[in-house]
Amino acid sequence: MRENKGITLIALIITIIVLLILASVSINAVVGDNGVLSQAQNASEKTKAGSEKEAIQFVMSDVNIDELTGQEVEEGKKIGKPLTNRGLGTWEMITVGDQAYGTNWYLLNKGENIPGFKKAKYSWLINYKTGELIQLEENNYSHLSSSDTVIESARNNIIFSLDASSIGQAKSITDLEKEDVDFIGFEDVNENSGLTENSFKFDGVNDYVKIQYDDSPALNQDGTPYMEDGKQLTKKEVFAKNGFTFEFYGILDGGTSQNGTDYRGLFNYGLIYKGEEGKMRFGIIGEGKGLHWNAGYGNFRSDLSADGDTAQWNQYYYIEDAKKPSGEKIIESENLYDGNIHYMALSVDTSKIYETVDGKDYYKHTIYLDGIKAIDAKYNVKSWEYFIENYPDLSYFEVGRAHMSNTSNQCYSKLEAYTLRLYNRALTDEEVEMSYNNSKLLLGES
């Protein structure tokens, strides 16, 4: 037999495959995500970041020496821009995930100069007080300022606003007053009334805000005319066509009622009739266990109408019925007077028909609690039209109180507001969620 000293085709193929695998492993070891080159680049980046960190820490140490020895820190010695989520002035914060950084922190942006070193290649958070230094990963953090407290898409729809921007920049209540906005009752200065460093308090006795909203021309926030179909609308026309949203973020703590009931008013839209009287009113009932509102008179039933034939305009919603999509309670205590910060928003969308049932048209009204949509319900179109058409003298909003039936029944809410707004349209679910999250972040919450 002849001896076969050559190699077979199969052996050759196997050899080539093995060589390709080895080549692939070798290439990956050099240029892959964890390869030699990648590790070398990461090491280089860490070295640069480390050098930059040391340079910043040297500046921090120099500042701390001055402070410890009682010397005045020279202007500009503290590098970075001071952030704040408290006190007077502009609100500006950095958020990383659910963590918010504000007061006592400084932001050093990429490209800014580090004394004795060079321009920063990274962005940093510096806390001179605690000595903390945090490197910010690019595209992994958000810059939140006071202008962000109002979501851009609804900026021109605001009727009235108390929020981180207005509260943070005001030195007194006078700074908040405008030609069409009056703060009433706050001259009785006490610990439950007026401005704090980051909130606005209503004492629940006689404090409220009155906002003119009548047949005068409607303007956008930038002062330009509010136009629709080529026509400038009046404030009331915008309200009638679009509806509204009332938004509150803060602490509710009861209040007083001159008619002896447990009703506490949060806002109403009123008119001049035998004095001042509210017609569309919204407030708290049942010692914090429910919401009550109505939009005037007329026996037209909506989804949340009270039982009976004589008061169908009354709308009731109880906190115990507020459930998450999972079925859990939104507010465990089932009581808005539990001492916690709560968010609520109530909107009526009259810009379009929401549903037609048995030949009757309905708009939509929505209630949000703690950022969650608690209910979408039908609101009878006839009820809204009756309210608008039968009370032509509607002329102002009141925030902080509402009337019950007549001028002798004035019901005030004791509250501490971090965000308090009225809009002349219904906000979308996405807008409400964004506004709620911004309100939490500006208090340093997640």
- The predicted structure's pLDDT at residue 394: 85
In sequence order, which ranges of 69-195 are alpha helices (DSSP H)? 164-169
Structure-block tokens of residue 102: 């504000």
Q: Are 374 and 317 spatial neighbours (Cβ–Cβ below 8 Å)? A: yes
The pLDDT of residue 249 is: 95
Report pLDDT digits (tens) over 10-50: 888 888 888 888 877 777 665 656 654 555 555 566 677 88
Reduced DSSP (H G I as helix, E B as strand, rest coil) percent helix, strand, coil of the chain, to 5: 25, 35, 40
Segments in the chain below pLDDT 70: 1-7, 28-46, 85-91, 146-148, 165, 168, 272-278, 296-297, 308-309, 405-408, 442, 444-446
> What is the phi/psi pair of residue 107, to 5°?
-105, 120
Per-residue pLDDT of 136-146, as tens digits, reads 998 888 887 76
Dist. CA 224–CA 7, nearest whole Å:
88
Q: Which residues make beta-bridge pairs with 135?
A: 124
What is the pTM for the complete model shown? 0.74
pLDDT for res 204: 95
Element (H, E) at 304: none
Using CA atoms, how far residue 295 sits from 167, 330, 386, in Å, is 30, 26, 9
Q: Which domains does the chain have, with CATH numbers?
A: 39-145 (no CATH), 150-441 (2.60.120.200)
Q: Rounded distance, CA 427 to CA 150, Å? A: 12
